[in-house]
Amino acid sequence: APRAGSWGRVQETLAKLADSQLPPTVDVYNALLQVAAEGGQWKQAYKVFKHMQIRKVRPDIETYQWIVRGSKSPGQLASVLKIAPLQPLWDAVREMDRQWTREMYHAMLQACARTRMQKGTKVVKTKRKIALEVFEDLQKRYRNLDLASYENLLVALEATRDWALGTQIFQDMQQAGLKPRVVTYNIMINLCAASKKVESALQLFEEMETVGLMPDTATFNALLRAHREAGDSEEALQVLDQMGGKALSPNAQTYHQAISACMSALKWERALELFDEMLDKRLTPAM
């Protein structure tokens, strides 16, 4: 086990590496990661990994394994996943002997969901593959999956616009005895929107009301998005009116979807009216 003063020495070594003219090696960084990870010093491990990236030192499988071992909570793992490439990190994780909680797997699935911020067929296919592998591994370790596990996979599939598989997973979830909640339906409606399946989105909206679930603002935002993606500006505005009938207050995202639908239909005057209305309500425009 690392000695009591080891953590301070990690910082000292990083400082020396920064000043040194010698090219740092991956072995040196792996040793520093090991010291930090085994000592429970996640922030130090994170700094070492960031320092590697700054110095353009290529990580190997051991690097990723140490940074994952040092991540003791979903939040810490999520922070690593924001700066580490998902594929090599997941490859390293699969070779590790680990006892992960469900929440750690959820953090991996949430990283796959960030595909929506990236472009490129290869990226989308890679993250879809990883999401399914993570979910399969989760199923092996926990026979009875909870609702959040399915929801995190569905969010990842929304990012890859995989409506057919998402629909199948949604059905599998219910066959496993899990009842979808409002959040689950919101995810599914967003999945339909991303895949331009507006009719399926409307069916899900009707279904949730039939089973006694009350749509919230996020539900209407997802439905607005479905109409926007389909180019149905009039229907989108009807959804906005429908929200008022449900005594729900639109938020910035609601206006963003409605304004975008109007602009796509070249309804500039209506878009400006909605923008002014949003500002009057002191809502910050959504990006």
**Closest residue by Cα to residue 13 from 24, 2, 3, 4:** 24
| pLDDT value of position 240 | 86
Tens-of-pLDDT digits for all 287 residues of the chain? 444 455 566 667 766 766 666 677 899 899 989 988 888 888 989 988 998 998 899 999 999 999 999 998 999 999 999 888 888 899 988 888 777 889 999 999 998 887 544 555 676 778 889 999 999 999 999 888 999 999 999 999 998 899 999 999 999 999 999 999 999 999 999 999 999 999 999 999 999 999 999 999 999 999 999 999 988 888 988 998 888 788 888 999 999 999 988 888 888 898 899 899 898 888 887 65
pTM recorded for the entire structure = 0.84
Query: Quick one: pLDDT at residue 3?
Result: 47
pLDDT of residue 117: 45
Alpha-carbon distance of 233 to 227, in angstroms, equals 7
Domain boundaries, the chain: 199-287
**What pLDDT shows up at residue 143?**
83
